[in-house]
Amino acid sequence: MAREAGTSRSTASRALSGQGYVAAHIREDVLAAAQRIGYVPDALARTLKAQRSNVVGLLVSDLRNQFYAELAAGVEQALRAAGYQMVLVDDHGDPQQELDGAKAFVAMRATGVVLTPAAAAATELLVERGVSVVEADRRSGARGCDSVIIDSEYGAREATRHLLELGHRRIALLIDETKWATGAERLRGYRAAHRAADVPLDRRLVLDLEFQAADARSRVAELLDQHPDVTAIFAVNNLMAETAWLELRRRGLAVPRDVSLVSFDDLAWMRMVEPGLTAVAQPTYDMGRRAAELLLGRVAEREAAAESKRGPGRRRIQETLEPTLVLRGSTAAPAASPTGA
């Protein structure tokens, strides 16, 4: 390539990068030559030299779930706007695969990683290796990383409060991971709303699917069989809402007449069905964008510090985005005489 331009490699490098002195006409020549032979600088070699890549990793739990796809789209958008590339790994919510993904990211010297943690190990590994990390949607509890999440407790509380205010007293909760993070917060919100309304909790109405989504449908059926006095269901994510919706329909139960239904996470289909689903809408795309922005900010900061200024490295940033309860037709006051009582 330098040969094509009839100059030395250094000069060519300077001409292309715009760094350092180079005669105007020489630059022309070089640019023309580059154009001619379709020269594209090797980002790898540049990274090796500069010790800083422009790739950022994204680790999500399930790309086929619209929620994560939306998140990924937001991250990609912000990243690409800033000239970064996104390497995407789908760990299927498996801590082991998550860890493998994290290792792959350090192997490829990713500048930073955005992830929806399934465990703390991945974040810890990354942070220890000096990779900037931003957790999204969940917080693993690992130290040294920023995070941006949705206020799950608030969202769950609002959804539950809405049902309680309508007069529901037997509200089933469909949830999938109560030990931790998002799941725990939503459970807390559900409880807090009950407490605030002075309505007693019934543990048997809380269906914790843990990690087995496989038999979700039958577990829901079982719960409805055992507790025919349930007048409302709060599904803690879009998958659960889907399961609940299908099961209610299979049983021929009318929504909201027989049972009211609320979803946490508002997808397009929820306004397509009749009645539309009342749902807690999350700014998912924005959460992705914000996570990427935080990451980029951190990277810039770190570079400035390395450059010279001895930046003290600000405290971790923990952002919380507010969800919104969207009222649609799937929630109404319970029938005067409950189905089962």
Partner DNA sequence: CTGTTAGCGCATTCAC
Partner DNA sequence: GTGAATGCGCTAACAG
Give residues with Cβ within 8 angstroms of 113, minimum separation 6: 56, 57, 58, 59, 102, 105, 126, 131, 132, 133, 134, 295
87 binds a second copy (CB under 8 A): yes
Nearer residue to DNA within complex by CB, 48 or 304: 48
Q: Which residue has the tokens 């005489």?
A: 337
Smallest distance, a second copy to C-beta of residue 161, A? 26
Determine which residue in the list 2, 26, 31, 69 makes contact with a second copy, applying CB under 8 A: 69
Rule CB under 8 A: which of 106-165 touch a second copy?
106-109, 128-129
- 212 touches, from DNA, a second copy, none (C-beta below 5 to 8 Å by class): none
Nearer residue to a second copy within complex by CB, 94 or 301: 94
CA dihedral 42, 45, 46, 49 (to 10 degrees): -170
Nearer residue to DNA within complex by CB, 303 or 322: 303
- 104 touches, from DNA, a second copy, none (C-beta below 5 to 8 Å by class): a second copy
Smallest distance, a second copy to C-beta of residue 109, A? 6
Nearer residue to DNA within complex by CB, 53 or 147: 53
SS (H, E, C) 5-54: HCCCHHHHHHHHHCCCCCCHHHHHHHHHHHHHHCCCCCHHHHHHHHCCCC
Size of the site for a second copy (CB under 8 A): 46
Smallest distance, a second copy to C-beta of residue 18, A? 17
Using the rule CB under 8 A, give the single segment among 192-200, 238-246, 314-322, 325-333 that binds a second copy.
238-246
- Which residues of this protein are in contact with DNA, per CB under 7 A? 1, 7-11, 13-14, 16-17, 19-24, 26, 41-42, 45-46, 48-51
Cα–Cα dist 50/260, whole Å: 58
Cα–Cα dist 120/139, whole Å: 8
264 binds a second copy (CB under 8 A): no
The angle at the Cα of 99, spanning 235 to 314, to the nearest 5 degrees, equals 85
Burial of residue 269 (number of CB atoms within 10 Å: 0-12, 13-18, 19+): middle
Find the helix packing angle between 9-17 and 24-37, rounded to 10°.
Answer: 90
- 87 touches, from DNA, a second copy, none (C-beta below 5 to 8 Å by class): a second copy
Cα–Cα dist 330/155, whole Å: 17
Smallest distance, DNA to C-beta of residue 15, A? 8
Cα–Cα dist 89/126, whole Å: 15
Smallest distance, a second copy to C-beta of residue 341, A? 28
Smallest distance, DNA to C-beta of residue 33, A? 12
- 22 touches, from a second copy, DNA, none (C-beta below 5 to 8 Å by class): DNA
Nearer residue to a second copy within complex by CB, 129 or 170: 129
Smallest distance, DNA to C-beta of residue 144, A? 22
Nearer residue to DNA within complex by CB, 10 or 318: 10
Rule CB under 8 A: which of 32-51 touch a second copy?
38, 40-45, 47-48
Determine which residue in the list 7, 59, 61, 90 makes contact with a second copy, applying CB under 8 A: 90
Cα–Cα dist 148/164, whole Å: 29
Give start and end residues of each alpha helix (H) in the chain: 2-5, 9-17, 24-37, 43-50, 66-81, 95-107, 121-128, 152-166, 181-197, 216-226, 238-250, 284-304
Contact 275, 249 (CB under 8 A): no
Contacts 24+ apart (CB under 8 A), 25-32: 29/5, 30/5, 32/5
The contact set with a second copy (CB under 8 A) reads 38, 40-45, 47-48, 53, 55, 63-64, 66, 69-70, 72-73, 76-77, 80, 85-90, 103-104, 106-109, 128-129, 242, 245-246, 249, 267-269, 272-274, 285
